[in-house]
Amino acid sequence: MAKFTFIGGIHPYDGKEISKHNPMRAVLPKGDLVYPLSQHIGAPAVPIVKKGDHVLAGQKIAQAQGFVSAPVYATVSGLMKAIEPRRVVTGEQVMSIVVENDLLYEEVEYPTPKPLNRMSREEILTAVQEAGIVGMGGAGFPTHVKLSVKEPEKISYVIVNCAECEPYLTSDYRRMVEEPEKLVEGLKVILRLFPNARGVLAVEDNKPDCIKILSGLVSKEPRIEVAALKTKYPQGSERQLIYAVTGRAIHSGKLPADVGCIVDNVDTVVAIRRAVLEGKPLMNRIVTVTGDAIANPQNLVVRIGTNYHELIEEAGGFVTEPQKIVSGGPMMGFALFDLDVPTTKTASALLCLTRDEVSEQEPSACINCGRCAEVCPGRVIPKLLAEYAQHHDLEQFVAHEGMECCECGCCSYICPAKRPLTQAIKSARKMVLADRKKK
């Protein structure tokens, strides 16, 4: 029974119906574009343009600083206006390059890449690195680092995370329905790096049309198969996904490659294909603009750097004033103070809710019901961890596996006393990580 699911998890209202039928639509930014230098895990990129420079779409404007880092590209043509701190979705101020859009959208000439079958492993990795590709599911870990494993022949699975388990999100769904061949081509590029690996397209079974389309496409591909996963949040969490597909389980101290797995998100795989087969850098991504406050929910192909205000306009504006706006899905996304933030490489959705359920409900005493432990995919006891966190007992917090929390939010979601368990655990995790850095 271990196959294709995991223990724990929840079944929230999925809200995908609102936007799933609307095809992907490319939008051109009108206002200034803002490119944070840190849209990934690792060292921030370093600007290589000056104020007053004219830039073209597809031109590198900041280069990676070291191996664990990623370059940033301009996505429109225009004037380089400033390098200054700008607010990003997490609420932090991040040093960013601001480009004034000249509305001409002039693009650089991309060099024609070598055919895939003549490319070496190093050439493929360099193409991915140069394109500035990072994990687009939300984590933002530089993809070339993930792909540069020491012993590539020991990788037995390349899993494409098509679960899209976050409620309301339909960007991966649209990609699978409209451009499944690009996804499969991208997977074949990755498989060239790992001679002994099988490619697995892991899709939740609430998307039977995707399973059908992808199964049809890969029926003649000897190395690729489609796995139907039980629909349950957080099925797309990396560790849970690997376990569901392969039965191999890793804790937080291990990497997927340690058990012979590579996991990449749908949009990331498509970006790899574009980088390697077309020689183009990462310049856009699909953003689901949705929620009951949005007039015409959309799946927009957005150029990175586009202001969130423009995305709302493209989706017809608000029907009613939203109480809460979330960048990302409702389970793991960031609530926004205001919409004046740019689309980054990791922004999967813009969710506008007319009701803020969280502020309506007052937290009350824990009744020890144990539901948090039941739904926790990390198999820890969130109630206990939250208590240790509140008492600042970091020693006990770590002893009770607090660092195994993946911050998926299931415990807070299920809690009948409406206690902010995830929040307490997250802040304790941050403190522990900060302490470890000091040492």
The contact set with another protein (CB under 8 A) reads 2, 6-7, 10, 12-13, 91, 167, 239-240, 243, 249-252, 254, 322-326, 330-338, 340, 351, 353, 356-359, 361, 364-370, 373, 377-381, 383-384, 400-401, 404, 407, 409-410, 412-418, 420, 422-423, 426
- Closest separation between CB of residue 12 and another protein, Å? 6
* Residue 299 beta carbon to another protein: minimum distance, rounded to whole angstroms: 20
Question: Residue 16 corresponds to which tokens in the numbers above?
Answer: 């995908």
Judged by beta carbon, residue 90 or residue 120, the one nearer another protein is 90
CA 145 distance to own-chain centroid: 16
Using the minimum distance from each CB to another protein, give the nearer residue, 313 or 357. 357
Nearest approach in angstroms of CB 262 to another protein is 18
Nearer to another protein, 105 or 413 (CB): 413
Helix (H, G, I), strand (E, B) or coil at 46: strand
Tokens 């307490």 belong to which residue?
424
The structure tokens listed for 302 are 């957005």
- 3-state SS record for 76-92: CCEEEEEEEEEECCCCC
- Residue 77 or 237: the one with the smaller Cβ distance to another protein is 237
26 vs 369, beta carbon nearer another protein: 369
Distance CA 36, CA 83 (A): 9
Q: How far is the CB of 72 from another protein (least distance, A)?
A: 26
At closest approach, how far in Å is the CB of 13 from another protein? 7
Q: Are 286 and 268 in contact (CB under 8 A)?
A: no
Strand positions, DSSP E, 114-253 = 157-162, 198-204, 224-229
CB closer to another protein out of 15 and 199: 15
Q: What is the DSSP string of 243-282?
A: HHHHS----TTS-GGGGTEEEEEHHHHHHHHIIIII----
How far apart are alpha carbons 406 and 53 in whole angstroms? 42
CB of 158 to another protein, least distance (A): 20
